[in-house]
Amino acid sequence: MRGKTGITISEDARKRATASLRRFFAESMDEEIGDLKARLLLDYVLREIGPTIHNQAIADARAFFEERAADLDATCYRDEFPSWTKGERPER
């Protein structure tokens, strides 16, 4: 993962994203764009903006797991030797 440049997506996701960009331009910008322009825009977004989204997702996941890990003691702790009440000592 280290040193990896850009964000890659599957060919199926690329096709769907390209279609989504074409539809967005048609409906929101009143402009028709072809597959080439949509793919070039997608490549730009993945290269330039993708890492920011990726880094935020990693930060969110890390915060989620750190929050859960901090609660491990409270959630998972079990009293040891539960048969003995406090103050009593087992016989030797």
Per-residue pLDDT of 35-77, as tens digits, reads 999 999 999 999 999 999 999 999 999 999 998 888 888 788 8
Looking up tokens 């080439």 gives: 36
At 91 the pLDDT is 61
Q: Is the pLDDT of residue 2 over 90?
A: no
Tokens of 35: 């597959």
Portion of the chain with pLDDT greater than 90, in percent: 64
Tokens of 87: 């103050």
When comparing pLDDT for 70 and 85, which is higher? 70
Tokens of 16: 């769907």
| CA gap 46, 53 in Å, rounded | 9
Q: Is the pLDDT of residue 5 over 70?
A: no
At 81 the pLDDT is 84
| CA gap 33, 3 in Å, rounded | 33
